[in-house]
Structure formats: C-alpha cells, structure tokens
Amino acid sequence: GNSVTQMEGPVTLSEEAFLTINCTYTATGYPSLFWYVQYPGEGLQLLLKATKADDKGSNKGFEATYRKETTSFHLEKGSVQVSDSAVYFCALYDAGRRALTFGSGTRLQVQP
Amino acid sequence: DVKVTQSSRYLVKRTGEKVFLECVQDMDHENMFWYRQDPGLGLRLIYFSYDVKMKEKGDIPEGYSVSREKKERFSLILESASTNQTSMYLCASRATGDNYEQYFGPGTRLTVT
C-alpha cells in the first residue's frame, strides 16, 4: 500500500537557520503530494502542494520539489523564525481511498 | 472563510461510556474523514465517507462507528470507550479530486478514564 516516511523529530534550530525536513513516499503512480503544518493547539492546515513530477510547491518561504526519481518531497526554508515552530506532516493523495495518507510528523522547534 | 467545526475541544469520559464526536463542514464537500493523532504515529485514518449514508473503513476502524445522515455532518461514535482510545481526534473534509485541499477541524482531545 501507499506510505509516507518522514525524518524523526524533534528538529531544533536557531532563528535564521536553514531548514530541511525529509519526506519520501511509496506509491503506485505519481500521486499529488502535500505538506501540512499544525501549530500548537490547532488543527492541520495546508502549507504547500505539488501535483506532478518536478513541480515545486511554495508558501510562506517554504518550498518542496516533487522528485519522482528519488520518490521524495523534502521541505526546505532558507531562514526559519520562532513562529515556524510547529509539527509538519508530509502526505500523499491515495486515489484508491480518495483520502490522504500522512507521515508521522516532524516537530520543529526554533529558538531565538 | 471555510470551516470545519468539531463539537468539543476537550472531552473526558469514563470507560464503557458511549461517546459521540460531531463534525460539521460548511463547504459542501462530498468527502469527510475521521483521524486520530497520537505521538510518533502521525494521523491514522479511522473512517471516511464520500457521500451521504456512505462510509468506508480506514486503517484502524475497530472500536469505532460513524454516521453521515446529512452532507455537512459526520459523526464518530465510540460504542464503549476504552482507555486506549484516549487520543486527539481530527475531522476533515475535502472536495472530490486528487489535488484539492483537505480542511481540518481544530480537533477534540478525548480522555477516557
């Protein structure tokens, strides 16, 4: 079946550091890929998405590129802020179930 | 502003009680979902529904049931709550199609004592 693997957290960075959160997937075909973010005490919200190979999704300074060769969708940001502290989830669209399959989440802590 | 609302943010129930978690969306979405979120396990799909009165089992349906009598409302039922059902429960809705955003409610933190 389809699955998503994310790097273990927590990831602790200083403000203005470069961020990478790794995400790889296993799926049939080329599913749409998503990054969701969950701020403390809130539900998940969409951060960015990519619907086909080589697409780059971007939002709020975050970027991720759909790499079919490596089945990856790594999340990057050039300079993190304290306000980016949250849990980040990578997900793919499972067409068979018409539902998203999520990774286990990666907690990011940014220190001033 | 699109919205998915859940009936409670926090809930405390006793073992053996029947528990109802309600979810309402105002976006006329066909698809609705119930997940539970546990540390280190991410989000696991319990049940989903792609139409009124339709339901499909997700990855962990045991101990749960659902009801969808109206398009905007999707209820999760714990027939006899147990302590291992203590968790954060997230409802979501989504339009049909492979690149549409899935919208989430704020979650209900359920504690079963």
Nearest to B102 among A31, A51, A100 (CB): A100
pLDDT at position B61: 97
pLDDT digits (tens, 9 = 90+) for A32-75: 999 999 998 888 999 999 999 999 999 999 999 999 999 999 99
- Residue A48: strand, helix, or coil: strand
> Hey, of B1, B47, B98, B109, which one would you mutate to test binding to chain A, going by the most A CBs within 10 A of its CB?
B98
Chain A residue with Cα closest to B32: A99
Q: Could you read off the pLDDT of B50-65 as tens digits, one per residue?
A: 999 999 999 999 999 9
The residue in chain B having the minimum alpha-carbon distance to the alpha carbon of residue A32 is B99
Minimum distance, in Å, between the CA of residue B93 and any CA atom of chain A: 10
Q: Which residues of A11-30 are buried (b: 16+ CB within 10 A; e: fewer)?
A: bebeeeeebebebbbebeee
Cβ atoms of A24 and A5 within 8 Å: the answer is yes
In B, which residues are within 8 Å of A34 by CB distance? 102
